[in-house]
Structure 1
């Protein structure tokens, strides 16, 4: 039985245990945050060393607008970026972070929110001229079946194999050449990709660890520049 006043509350074993767990949880959260900051700083030093040794530039918190094309569309998701030139073409490689929240319910119907953070390596190559806004992605199993039955619609590239395997968002144009479609079917270019203005953007899930393979995006950029 609780006695009146603050002393009685403090004497309750349940309250004491809850308090201990709260303090322990707070300390654990602080410790996790400190470790995360140290790991991030260590990675940035490693990236800086690699950039200095290979003629690239490391930029933290770059002012780029890539997020509108990326999963989750986090406008502040690009935390670090490497910038350089390969065969005379400006290339940028950044790490993009986005956190999504999934809400589920337990057996009693109480909602539970789970957060998951995803990292992506984003590679951007400069094109020689302004291009229309187009995105090409691989079709899933259901989309392949639908395209096989009903056709790709108005966004057909012209090769039935390509149209069944890939989806074009945006209007096909002179850029969609037989050579480009063959490169997709043979796996020689990255997917998904999007181009907007003079930027060709590709992304894949994972953390930024140079050197990043650049041949696929450079091959795709060459095909887009030379239809």
Structure 2
């Protein structure tokens, strides 16, 4: 009887492997076609494609800070400014213990990154929407005047962090504040000449240029 169960188990394992191999190949082919489609789209608007892992300095400002996380990069000129678009990924692992055995699971975290390269150098600064915890902390502890712009509606809804707090109000002026309050500006970070925005997901050509427009909108309002 035990021999029969062993044969059945082996047959199931063989069947699972036989099904998994073509499935993996299918997924790989679909991904290759997707990347080829992105490269064709980039070429159609005059941009350059860099396939595979590309090392760039701004990955240090992304979740996971994976220096080799850029798996494809597209560069070009848009509205007279040099732009980089990339797909970026990093992994996290989780270890659990079930019935005395260790199980390790790996999660991939995928992002689309847009970087507009500016003609001037700026101090390090980041603007992000406040979560409920940040709002509560500010309510309990009062405003941090060193890194706020002095417009209560904005300071209540957005958190600003800068390497040079004394310059925050020079960089984030009334026009940029109004744009954020109108919901027309994404969360962004700026370091040197690189204005960076990212969001979760994979790159879709139809969403790229509208996203770049929103980043360039921020670029054009810096200091205003």
TM-score in terms of structure 2 length:
0.85
In the TM superposition, 1:188-207 aligns within 5 A as 188-191=184-187, 193-207=188-202
Q: Is the 8 A contact 2:55 2:67 kept in 1?
A: no
CA distance in 1: counterparts of 2:151 and 2:105, whole angstroms:
43
Say whether 1:142 aligns with 2:137.
no
Match of 2:7 in 1: 16
Which protein is bigger by CA-based radius of gyration?
1
Match of 1:209 in 2: 204
Higher mean C-alpha displacement, 169-178 vs 89-98? 169-178
Q: How many residues are treated as equivalent by the alignment? A: 215
Match of 2:217 in 1: 219
TM-aligned CA deviation for residue 28 of structure 1: 4.0
Offset from partner CA, 1:9-31 (integer Å, 9 cap, x none): xx723333333343334344433
Taking only aligned residues, the RMSD between alpha carbons, in angstroms, comes to 2.2
Match of 2:158 in 1: 166
Q: Is the 8 A contact 2:112 2:202 kept in 1?
A: yes
In the TM superposition, 1:21-100 aligns within 5 A as 21-61=12-52, 62-100=54-92
Offset from partner CA, 1:91-126 (integer Å, 9 cap, x none): 1111112222233455x4655433322321111101
Say whether 1:101 aligns with 2:93.
yes
Q: Is the 8 A contact 1:147 1:163 kept in 2?
A: no
SS in 1 for 2:21: helix
CA distance in 2: counterparts of 1:169 and 1:27, whole angstroms:
53
CA distance in 1: counterparts of 2:23 and 2:109, whole angstroms:
17
